[in-house]
């Protein structure tokens, strides 16, 4: 989210932004959360950070989670109970914290793919492989 806010200033120094599980349109879970205030306010649907404009000098890419708790794909972390609860409360598909529709909320975002991992596990080798060619300049 902070990268999108930065890019809204029309900087010309960022060619590509890869967003992994980013709640671009906010997350409904943040609406009733006070942990991490005031930063969590930026994650709420309709927050100013979710409505920043596109930078025409940058291409925006997304990787979103489409997780099912029954599949596993989530390490045992302090976040797991929160993600399991979030999975049932959020619109499907989601990664336990962010609906896929929020990650891919803008028509100018380019989808690099979906992961079956939960939100806290979205930085695995699988997600890297989805973005690898872009990162290495092959796309």
Least Cα distance to 84 among 114, 111, 47, 121 occurs for: 121
Least Cα distance to 127 among 20, 53, 39, 35 occurs for: 20
Answer whether residue 139 shows pLDDT above 80: no
Half-sphere exposure of 112 (CA within 13 A, CB side): 25
The answer to whether 21 and 28 have CB atoms below 8 angstroms apart is no
Q: What is the pLDDT of residues 83-110, one digit of tens each?
A: 999 999 999 999 999 999 999 999 999 9
- pTM of the model as a whole: 0.93
d(CA 49, CA 22): 12
The answer to whether 118 and 67 have CB atoms below 8 angstroms apart is yes
């Amino acid at each position: 989210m902070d990268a999108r806010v930065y890019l809204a200033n029309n900087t010309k120094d960022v060619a590509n932004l890869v967003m992994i599980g980013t709640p671009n349109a906010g997350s409904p879970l943040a609406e009733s959360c006070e942990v991490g205030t005031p930063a969590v306010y930026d994650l709420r649907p309709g927050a100013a950070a979710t409505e920043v404009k596109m930078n025409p000098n940058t291409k925006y890419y997304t990787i979103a989670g489409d997780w099912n708790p029954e599949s596993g794909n989530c390490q045992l972390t302090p976040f797991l109970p929160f993600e399991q609860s979030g999975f049932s409360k959020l619109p499907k598909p989601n990664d336990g914290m962010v609906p896929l529709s929020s990650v891919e909320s803008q028509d100018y975002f380019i989808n690099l793919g979906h992961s079956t991992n939960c939100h806290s596990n979205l930085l695995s080798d699988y997600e890297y492989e989805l973005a690898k060619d872009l990162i290495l300049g092959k796309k």
